[in-house]
Amino acid sequence: MIKAVIFDLDDTLYDEMQFVKGGLKKAALHISKIYKVNREKTYRLFIKILHDHGRGKIFDLALSGLGLPVNRQILDKLVSVYRYNDAKLRPFKETIPILFYLRHKGYKVALLTDGNSRVQRHKVRMLGIEPFFDCLVYSRWHGIDFEKPNQLIYKKCLKKMGLEPYDAIYVGDNPSKDFIGAKELGIRTLMLKNKRRNTARITGGYEAEYIVSSLGGIPAVIRMIDKQTGVSYGKNHKINR
């Protein structure tokens, strides 16, 4: 019987591009103030580099492209401005209703997320979702080597809730890392389809057992699992979607 739902954060409970674009806007503003360059031009350059090369070298490539000095001091400052930007993050429209529903029905609700712990906590607070969780696990608290798919953080999460792996289902969006560690422990896995991710079927243990197109599909999956394991369920598990 499922007793807990463990969520990933980025691109599972909200669209991470809100945070990325908010951070790049703040970084563009910072550069425009220091070097007197056009803020919009700088931001457009950031977005182009993001689309062409990903996030890893945005500031290095942009500064070079603008003919500006590239040094550790300015790069560190831009990274800090980016990470702690004050963009108004909005959860997916299904996020608050499903979190409320799960708490109302008596399920434990947890968050397990990778990345810089301070940044991830900052995101959670900006989203206003912290009160919904019985347990929040930021994997970097234990070191970068313990990020997903390392089993340790899943174990930490279960221990905090006093549950066994078969009591929980993990909800994420990234098959390259979200599900393999959970599945190895015996946690059920559910993938939220994300249009920015490659939706081709992945093999070798990386795929989730269940797939939904929105968070509103979680109750139906829980009912299916409970039915398969011989647990009865009634009208209390219905949700309007």
The domain boundary residue, chosen from 66, 83, 100: 83
H helical segments located in the chain: 17-35, 39-53, 58-65, 72-83, 95-104, 117-127, 151-161, 180-185, 218-228
Distance of alpha carbon 229 from alpha carbon 217, whole angstroms: 19
- Domain edge (last residue) among 83, 112, 131: 83
CATH code (residue 54): 1.10.150
Q: How far apart are CA 126 and CA 141, in angstroms?
A: 20
* Domain range enclosing 99: 4-15+91-237
CA gap 171, 191 in Å, rounded: 6
Could you tell me if 68 and 119 lie in one domain?
no
pTM (two decimals): 0.88
90-117 pLDDT, tens digit per residue, is 999 999 999 999 999 999 999 999 999 9
Q: How many CB atoms lie within 10 A of CB 76?
A: 11
The pair of structure tokens assigned to 93 is: 């429209």
Residues in the chain: 241
pLDDT in tens, the chain (241 residues): 999 999 999 999 999 999 999 999 999 999 999 999 999 999 999 999 999 999 889 999 999 999 999 999 999 999 999 999 988 999 999 999 999 999 999 999 999 999 999 999 999 999 999 999 999 999 988 888 889 989 999 999 999 999 999 999 999 999 888 999 999 999 999 999 866 555 555 656 678 999 999 999 999 999 999 998 765 443 333 333 4
Cα–chain center distance at 150? 16
The domain that holds 219 is classified in CATH as 3.40.50.1000
